[in-house]
Amino acid sequence: MNRFFQFKGQRKRSTLLFALAAILAVFVGFQIQRQLQGGDQVNVLVVTHALTEFTPLAASDVEIHRLPRSAVPEDAIKSKEEAIGKYTAMGILPGSPLRKGHLLPVDSWAGMMLYSGQGGKVAMPLPLESSDSAFVQAGDEVVISGFIRQGTEQSWVVVEAPVLAKRDDVMLVAIPPEKVRDVDAIRSSGAKVRIALLPKAVKS
């Protein structure tokens, strides 16, 4: 009789273990199916080919992929609208999820040059005297002028340049490459760098 009850108890435990195993299998299967159906996946932009630094992103440079949420960086970009037209801040390998850190900030000096359409020019910071700082603003165009001393001779240099940004008493201007040496020569000679606002009506 004792053997009968022992056998019955073992059978109940086996049935219970089987039931728990079945429930666990159903739960695991549900989780796998959920992942396959995209329940734990998100849209993310992925780079389609190798990109170099300072490349303006076009629609063909990226495509939307669905990736597991756990594999997606926190700053990953999830829509093309957030990326198209932005400039890369570094080289990016094909197949990489596009991240905000991959893109050049608009308020960086390099970003100001590129996003303002001044990519063919050179960004140059110039100090401003307090009297000049009061009227010069980002978006203005200024005339930069001063004397260059070459031995006993002096020459007068005039350069027109757009102001990309102003921070405290320093402005960032976009200088044509061929004029950079002239502006540097004014500063290195110790002569005063004169700044005058260019009226909008006479902009070339």
Tens digits of residue pLDDT in 23-78: 755 555 555 555 555 558 899 999 999 998 888 899 999 999 998 988 888 999 99
Q: Same structural domain for residues 129 and 195?
A: yes
Single residue among 102, 129, 152 that ends a domain in this structure: 102
Q: Same structural domain for residues 143 and 179?
A: yes
Q: Same structural domain for residues 189 and 156?
A: yes
Comparison of pLDDT for 8 and 192, the residue scoring more: 192
pLDDT value at position 76?
94
Query: What residue numbers bound the domain in which 136 lies?
Result: 121-202
- Three-class SS state of 118: coil
Q: Give the chain's domain count.
A: 2
In a domain, residue 109? The reply is no
In a domain, residue 17? The reply is no
Q: Same structural domain for residues 127 and 164?
A: yes
In a domain, residue 128? The reply is yes
Q: Same structural domain for residues 182 and 140?
A: yes
20: left (phi over 0), alpha (psi -120 to 50) or beta: alpha
Q: Give the rounded percent of residues in the chain with a pLDDT score beyond 70.
A: 74
pLDDT value at position 7?
39
- Using alpha carbons, list the distances in angstroms from residue 4 to 13, 14, 16: 14, 15, 18
In a domain, residue 35? The reply is no
Q: What is the number of residues in the chain?
A: 204
Q: Give the rounded percent of residues in the chain with a pLDDT score beyond 90.
A: 18
In a domain, residue 32? The reply is no
For residue 39, give the H/E element and its range. Answer: none
Helices (H) and strands (E) in the chain, counts: 4, 7
Which of these ranges, 18-22, 157-161, 165-169, has the smallest mean pLDDT?
Answer: 18-22
CATH number at residue 171: 2.40.10
Which tokens belong to 111? 């970003």
Which of these ranges, 25-29, 88-92, 128-132, has the smallest mean pLDDT?
Answer: 25-29
Q: Same structural domain for residues 175 and 144?
A: yes
- Contact partners, residue 42, CB within 8 Å, separation at least 6: 66, 67, 69, 72, 78
For residue 146, give the H/E element and its range. Answer: strand 141-150
Q: Same structural domain for residues 75 and 130?
A: no
Q: Same structural domain for residues 86 and 58?
A: yes
Q: Is the dihedral of CA 60, 66, 71, 73 positive or negative?
A: positive
Instruction: Work out the number of other CB atoms within 10 angstroms of the CB of residue 11.
Output: 10
In a domain, residue 107? The reply is no
- pLDDT tier at 4, thresholds 50, 70, 90: very low
Query: 169, 127 in Cβ contact below 8 A?
Result: yes
- Three-class SS state of 195: strand
Q: Same structural domain for residues 137 and 197?
A: yes
In a domain, residue 113? The reply is no
pLDDT value at position 3?
45
- CA pair distance 110, 118, nearest whole angstrom: 10
In a domain, residue 190? The reply is yes
CA 109 to chain centre: 12
Q: Same structural domain for residues 138 and 180?
A: yes
